[in-house]
Structure 1
Amino acid sequence: MSPRRQQELVKLMSRLGLPRDTQIDWSLLDIALTHPTMGMPNYEQLEFIGDSVVRLAASEFLWETYPDKSVGDFSAVRKILVSDRILAQLADGYGFDRYLTLAASAVGDPSGRISRLADAFEAVLAALYLTTNNLTLVRPWLDPHFQQLATEILQDPARQNYKDALQEWTQANYKALPEYRVREDLLKLDRFQRFIAEVWFRDRHLGTGSGQSKKAAEQAAAKVAFTTLMEPNL
């Protein structure tokens, strides 16, 4: 690694809030910021590990910060925290584009920028995790982002995507999708409960919810279903 490249990486770590004398595996960090278009080695293997690292960091954060929340709430919030959109947003905020080595062909492809940034972000988390085999170089600067995002998500139930969480669970366990049956109650005086949705899976009624739109009602029903499924002994 050239001295100039290492100086760039040191600058990025400073932007993350890590002290300049922090012991880091710089070769891993260099790989974490090398796009596959540059050949081998590149960030793909580290991104694979980083996917688990960011989920673990988010899980620990939620468990410590919201001890009274259900597993269903954890899963719904975590799904957003570790989404490509959020990770790319965080990477963009730290200016990862400046430190990512990639071929000119990739630079000219703006459509892949979100996935590129998200992958690089996860790879960097993996490099930091593998340096210490724990989250001590990750959580100090990542937790404040999780705190802000989780607060926003919990204040806005529409952002808690229980439909996706439920679908992931049914697909993982049964290779099948849940079914939603929605009806409109025109006699309802409360417009926020005008639509009523039932979620069914394998001929079993899992939950009912209501909302001012079909999507809101489906989300409400999915929350009931997912929370019920995550309860112990069910």
Structure 2
Amino acid sequence: MAQLPPQRQKSLVRLMERLGLSDHSRIRWDLMDLALTHPSISPDQNYEQLEFIGDAVVRLAASEVLYELYPDEPVGEFAAIRSILVSDRTLAEFAESYNFQKYLLYHGHYEGAGLVSLLADAFEANLGALFLSTNDLSLVHPWLDAPLKIKAEEIKRDPARQNYKDALQVWTQSEHHVLPTYKVEKNPKSKSEEDFFCSEVWLRDILLGSGFGRSKKAAQQAAARQAYEKAVQTESPKKNA
């Protein structure tokens, strides 16, 4: 890491330690530095190519985890769960859990969907850098498998597959033959990026649910989730009767 400034070297080492990678001998620090450099810092030397590699890496890692967890599941089930595991929303959650934003070099202010995209892109770029350091997943599996497994099991238990807008739409069309409508606005009482937007979902003149999120889409999903879960709970006694 001789070519990197001392403070940057320390920063990258701290991130690797957060990932649980104590053996640094195989890590290519030049790639790790690039993986944490946003195009706003350097139009030519940034993480975009590594992000492209990392997109394939996370798909492979997720596929291996799913095969280990559910060896008898059909391919269609694998694909459905994997699509959520490798979504920007999930990758941004992983990035946040390891505080990737602290180590990322970028200009500007990001919030809502922009921040989700920023974190997901940087996360994929780091996977690309770790893969290219060894040309295998030996620097990826030790720390990424656990959160992938936890998230996969969470998704599998969720009948809505974490897409509550679609699930609610199916329910309202089936039960009431009408689509729900959403109202979204900035939350004047927001205290963090997590509740920057607030949303309500309505069925004609009936308020079904409300929720908050860092983006309009996330707020709508939160409102739809509340409405959908209420609908399922209301129907359950009828089904058990």
TM-score by length of 1: 0.67
Q: Which residue of 2 aligns with 1:199?
A: none
- Whichever residue aligns with residue 30 of structure 1, its letter is D
Alignment of 1:36-75 (within 5 A): 36-39=39-42, 40-75=44-79
Q: Which residue of 1 aligns with 2:88?
A: 84
What is the CA deviation profile of residues 83-130 of structure 1, one whole-angstrom value per residue up to 9, with x for unaligned ones?
Answer: 100101110111111100012xx2x23241110000000000000000
Aligned: 1:119 with 2:116: no
Q: Which residue of 2 aligns with 1:32?
A: 35
- CA distance in structure 1 between the aligned counterparts of 2:153 and 2:47, rounded to whole angstroms: 31
Q: Is the 8 Å Cα contact of residues 33 and 99 (structure 1) preserved in structure 2? A: yes
TM-score by length of 2: 0.65
Q: CA deviation at 1:159?
A: 1.3
- CA distance in structure 1 between the aligned counterparts of 2:37 and 2:175, rounded to whole angstroms: 55
Alignment of 1:1-234 (within 5 A): 1-39=4-42, 40-103=44-107, 106=108, 108-111=109-112, 112-159=114-161, 184=174
SS of the residue 2:160 aligns to = helix
Q: Is the 8 Å Cα contact of residues 77 and 153 (structure 1) preserved in structure 2? A: yes
- Whichever residue aligns with residue 59 of structure 2, its letter is R
- CA distance in structure 2 between the aligned counterparts of 1:29 and 1:183, rounded to whole angstroms: 49
- Whichever residue aligns with residue 105 of structure 2, its letter is T
Q: CA RMSD in A?
A: 2.7
- Whichever residue aligns with residue 47 of structure 1, its letter is E
- CA distance in structure 2 between the aligned counterparts of 1:34 and 1:68, rounded to whole angstroms: 41
Unpaired runs of 5+ residues, structure 1, are 165-179, 187-212, 217-234
- CA distance in structure 2 between the aligned counterparts of 1:68 and 1:137, rounded to whole angstroms: 28
- CA distance in structure 2 between the aligned counterparts of 1:156 and 1:113, rounded to whole angstroms: 26
- The worse-fitting range, judged by mean Cα deviation, of 36-45 and 13-22 is 13-22
Aligned sequence identity (%): 57
Instruction: Flag as ranges the 4+ runs of structure 1 deviating above 2 A.
Output: 182-186
- CA distance in structure 1 between the aligned counterparts of 2:175 and 2:16, rounded to whole angstroms: 55
- CA distance in structure 2 between the aligned counterparts of 1:142 and 1:82, rounded to whole angstroms: 12
Q: What is the number of residues matched between the two proteins?
A: 172
Q: CA deviation at 1:185?
A: 7.3
